Structure 1
Amino acid sequence: MSANWEDLKPRVLSGVAMIVVGLMTVWLGGLWFHALIGLISGLMVWELVRMLDPERRTEALMLGGLAALVSFLAPHLPAAVALPLLLAPSMVGLGRMGRGGVTYGVFTALILLAGFGMTGLRDDFGLLWMLWLVLVVVVTDVAGYFAGRMIGGPKFWPRVSPKKTWSGTVAGWIAAAVVGLIFAQWTVAGAGLAGVSVAISMASQLGDVAESAIKRRCGVKDSSSLIPGHGGLLDRFDGMLGASVFLVIAGQIIGFPPGP
């Protein structure tokens, strides 16, 4: 098998497992979805600490556990309480990091804000919009993966992410626009949803590149080895992180999503 495709089998198998678990919890919503988001958020913070400062093993467990707890509790609290609570793990961890404290503080805040945005999207706007967000991020990644290996061409940012190409990047935008046009038929958003989907796709790619930059700085290939073929949860959900944070911010500006 070509080196370009050697990671395809474990990537597909673990990807299918994640899709099954993800779809089940997204479908169920409520506490099940909140618990999944809390678990993922906590593990991503754990991975982040281990990457930035590998000697802080105890702190990684403590801060990851705190992040998981905060992420799970926040959707059940008034916003005036939830918002400062979401920033608490960043503040608590700053003084405990031997190095990478600023990166830890900012990225942890983004992780928890993204999780809070996803639970809010599912709780307030329903299953359809949550599936739209997930599918936009997934097709961006899948289209980029296959187009990048089949077409190749100029690299997107070789110094930070040597495998990413412009062909894969643009293919992700096109795939996202198609998802937007399909979902436009089922919502009141209209054809403009294609443009919003492309913006979400771009944000997911920025999240991917940001995580790649952290790994490059830390001298690691993957954020962890939790997921065969994908590395760690940060490796797998960095795109969702960027997309969710963008949706939280942009949604307040343009009043999006328009309704359940």
Structure 2
Amino acid sequence: MNELTKRFLSAIILASLVIAGIIYLPVYVVKVFIAIITVLCVYEIFNLLDKRLVGIYKKEVLAVGFLSSLSLMFLSFYLALLIIVVYSFYEAVKKYDLNYLTYIIFGFFYGVFFPSSLGLMVDIDKNLLFVLFAVVWTGDTAAYFVGKLFGRVKLAPVLSPKKTVEGAVGSFIGSVLAGYFAVKYFGFESYWMVAVIVSAVLLQVGDLFESFIKRQVGAKDSSNLIPGHGGLLDRIDSLIFASVVFLAVYSIVNQLKTFTML
């Protein structure tokens, strides 16, 4: 089985499971499942960071990641932040090294807050996740095939040698078109196109962001969890960046609506 076939089959199976779960499972079950995904992300990011700062990964980080993700999605952002900071300080004091404090906080920041943003989107509207998937999955697919067929100019050769400017342009166009049709299909307000357009850019930044971390620690993939795709973070790095954009746009629009009603 060649690499492209592995990637395709893995993507189809994962996408089918995710879509079925969102449609048929209650909201609280979806959010608990996202917390479990967060644990896997925490595992991967801390294992990557451990290559640079030995001893940073411990099994305890998985429990802290799970609890802080549940706190963020069900209770309070500030409770999640408190859990993370207290644990990070506790571990850093034992080493008496500021590097441990910054690395641990960053590991939770990336491994918890970004994936958990998907659960916060569920609270707004389950169907919003389908708009997000349309934007990201179409963008990733377009980037791959346009880059393969027409790619000449390297986008960021130090971080990701295979990515091209042509592929990035194809990704942007594909994401915006797919997002537009998804927004129309589900009947969302037109302001969501702002989220679609901004995320069409930043989802590519999300991919490069994770590539930067992997290059810094000398790793090709975040793990070998998914055949043909590497780790979970390798698969959802763009998705979680785009989901944060959607949440930011939603929050800003709500604040503006409140301000105009005063």
The runs of 5 or more residues in structure 1 that have no matched partner are none
Equivalent residue number for residue 21 of structure 2 = 25
Cα distance, 1:68 vs structure 2: 2.1
TM score, norm. by length of structure 2: 0.83
Equivalent residue number for residue 43 of structure 1 = 40
TM score, norm. by length of structure 1: 0.84
Question: What letter is aligned with 1:43?
Answer: L
Equivalent residue number for residue 11 of structure 1 = 7
Are the counterparts in 2 of residues 94 and 105 from structure 1 also a CA contact under 8 Å? no
Find 1:63's aligned residue among 61, 64, 67: 61
Equivalent residue number for residue 260 of structure 2 = none
Structure with max Cα Rg: 2
Are the counterparts in 1 of residues 72 and 116 from structure 2 also a CA contact under 8 Å? yes
Cα distance, 1:53 vs structure 2: 1.1
Q: CA deviation digits over 1:115-169, x for unaligned, max 9?
A: 332212112x222211111221111111111111111110110011101111111
Are the counterparts in 2 of residues 37 and 119 from structure 1 also a CA contact under 8 Å? yes
Q: CA deviation digits over 1:52-106, x for unaligned, max 9?
A: 1148579343212321232134322245534534666655665678867635422
The verdict on how the C-alpha distance between 1:106 and 1:184 changes in structure 2, with shifts beyond 3 A counting, is same
Where does 1:1-260 land on structure 2 (aligned, <5 Å)?
6-27=2-23, 28-54=25-51, 59-85=57-83, 102-123=102-123, 125-185=124-184, 186-190=186-190, 193-255=192-254
Q: Distance in 1 between matches of 2:196 and 2:18?
A: 20
Q: Distance in 2 between matches of 1:199 and 1:142?
A: 18
Cα distance, 1:251 vs structure 2: 2.9
Question: What letter is aligned with 1:168?
Answer: G
Q: Name which of structure 1's ranges 24-33 and 14-23 shifts more when overlaid on structure 2.
A: 24-33
Q: Secondary structure at the residue paired with 1:207?
A: helix
Cα distance, 1:236 vs structure 2: 0.7
Cα distance, 1:171 vs structure 2: 1.0
Are the counterparts in 2 of residues 42 and 67 from structure 1 also a CA contact under 8 Å? yes
The verdict on how the C-alpha distance between 1:75 and 1:193 changes in structure 2, with shifts beyond 3 A counting, is closer
Q: Distance in 2 between matches of 1:161 and 1:67?
A: 28
Cα distance, 1:42 vs structure 2: 0.9
Q: CA deviation digits over 1:154-205, x for unaligned, max 9?
A: 0110011101111111111111111222133232423x54443121121211
The verdict on how the C-alpha distance between 1:211 and 1:79 changes in structure 2, with shifts beyond 3 A counting, is closer
The runs of 5 or more residues in structure 2 that have no matched partner are 258-262
Q: CA deviation digits over 1:20-74, x for unaligned, max 9?
A: 2211222224232112211111111111111111485793432123212321343
Q: Secondary structure at the residue paired with 2:59?
A: helix
Q: Secondary structure at the residue paired with 2:199?
A: helix
The verdict on how the C-alpha distance between 1:61 and 1:24 changes in structure 2, with shifts beyond 3 A counting, is farther
Are the counterparts in 1 of residues 121 and 243 from structure 2 also a CA contact under 8 Å? no
Segments of 4+ moved more than 6 angstroms: 96-100
Q: Name which of structure 1's ranges 225-234 and 44-53 shifts more when overlaid on structure 2.
A: 44-53
Q: Secondary structure at the residue paired with 1:59?
A: coil
Q: Distance in 2 between matches of 1:126 and 1:202?
A: 23
